[in-house]
Each structure stands twice: as structure tokens, then as C-alpha cells.
Amino acid sequence: MTRTWTPGTPDPDLSAIATTPRLVVALDFDGTAAPFVLDPLEARALPEVAAQVDRLAAMPDTVVAYVSGRSMEDLRVITAHSDDSPIALAGSHGAQYWFPGVGAAEDAADAMADGTREELWAAVRPLIERYPGAELEEKTFGMGVHTRKATPEAERALFAEVDELVAARFPHWRRRLGHHVLEFSSRAEGKDAAMAALRDRFHPTAILFAGDDVTDEDAMRVLTEADLGVRVGEGETAATLRVRDPQEIALLLEALADERASRPE
């Protein structure tokens, strides 16, 4: 059962994660580390979240990763990610990776060499242009149709048209519906694959994963009893804890870092 986390109150599950021998802290970006903004490429982590991410990443036996539906190129932009960063990245819902000391773990240059991706973009653009406030995000393995600037009526109508088009011409592409975004990908990986990849790479004794959207539930559902899932905001979830917003994620990460810093060596 999911329960609401109260800042400043000790929590046994958070304490257990804080004292685990080897920890991975995996965070969704949009809506979790960063508030939603109208221009997706203008999204940035809250300063107080970024401060705790840096603090945790500097601790022994602790790895921090951003796990996002963004393509790797865009994810590195919005996270201000440098080549010497200690932060791991999982982009495109677990189809792309960047690991500290290694760099990009998968070359996606030939991912859509047959031109299908560009064919999809070309087919969808005329639909999007008819709806003020809608935008196309071109992704490595597909696309996202964003409607944060559109009316609810326009969003419903546009998503229906896009669904019809993709079902007719690209029926095998994976569909994902998020907060004011409809995504399609030629790849089947979800954030459950990202959890598996982080386990294989870093061999943690526990993972803390935090996310705010339907796509994050793929990751929540594969967490083990040793792990901890944190849902940001409302909605059905398999997470153990719930917080209200990215500001409370910052407080939760601060509590985690405080307790982890004070654990016996």
C-alpha cells in the first residue's frame, strides 16, 4: 500500500534504503526532478534537487541516475550533463545509456536507417500544425507529441488523430501516454529495462526509484522488497511512498543523504 511521506518525519523504508551497502538512486526527470515547463527543452532540475543529486553522487557506494523518456541528446542538454559527470543516464525509456567513465553504452546512429522514423514525422506534422500549441518532439527511436500549450479539447482531438494515423501506418510501434504528451517508439524497452540495466552495471543492494507518470510504473513494478519506489503527485502507483511535487523530492533526497552520510562505516 502506498503511503504519503511527511517531510521531517523518520520513515523506516527510507532509513533502510539510506543504510543499504550499495545504493542506486534513479530519478525520472520531468515532473520529478524538474517542474513541468511549456518548452520541453527549457526544463531544468530544481536547484535544491540538483544539490542533493550532487551530494549523493559524491558519497561512497552511491550512484545517481536520471531515467527518462527523453532521447539521450536532449536528456544531456536538460540535465546539463558533461562528459566527466558522475551521473548515469538512461534515455528513450531504457533504450539508450550513458555511464560514468564509459560514456554512451549504445550507438543509436543506425537505429532508424530505413527512414521509417522520418516518414512518421512527415506524416504527423500536418496534423500537429492544425492545432495551436501542439509541438512535435523528434526522438531517436520515434516521436513525442506535446500539448502543454494546447487546450484540453485540442489535445483530445489531436491525440485521436495521431492514434488513428499510427495504428494504420505504424501498428507495431509502442504507444505511451503521459502528462500532455503522446509518444510512439520503434523500440519496446520501458523503464523496467532501465532498472535491469542499472542493476547489471552497478550491482546495487537496493534501488530508490522516483517518478511521476504512467511510464514510470514500468519501473515501479519491477522493484524488489529491498528497493523503494516513490511516486510524485497523484495517480495509481505501485510505489511505497508518495510525495506531492519536485520540491518534496528535494526534501526526501536531503533526508536520504543526511541519513546515508551518518551511517557507520
The pLDDT tens digits along the chain (265 residues) read 899 999 999 999 999 999 999 999 999 999 999 999 988 889 999 999 999 999 999 999 999 999 999 999 999 999 999 999 999 999 999 999 999 999 998 655 445 556 788 999 999 999 999 999 999 999 888 999 999 999 999 999 999 999 999 999 999 899 999 889 999 998 888 999 999 999 999 999 999 999 999 999 999 999 999 999 999 999 999 999 999 999 999 999 999 999 999 987 6
Size of the chain in residues: 265
Contact 247, 34 (CB under 8 A): no
Nearest to 242 by CA among 207, 211, 206: 211
Nearest to 54 by CA among 39, 33, 31: 33
Please give the DSSP secondary-structure letter assigned to residue 40.
G
What are the structural domains of the chain? 3-108+191-261 (3.40.50.1000), 116-185 (3.30.70)
C-alpha cell at 90: 538512461
Between CA 1 and CA 170 the distance in angstroms is 38
Between CA 194 and CA 16 the distance in angstroms is 22
Where residue 171 falls (left for φ over 0; alpha for ψ -120 to 50; beta otherwise) is alpha
Name the 3-class secondary structure at 243: strand
C-alpha cell at 233: 503527485
- Cα 65–Cα 67–Cα 71 angle in degrees, nearest 5: 120
Q: Strand 228-232 vs strand 206-211: parallel, antiparallel, or unpaired? A: parallel
Name the 3-class secondary structure at 254: helix
Contact 145, 186 (CB under 8 A): no
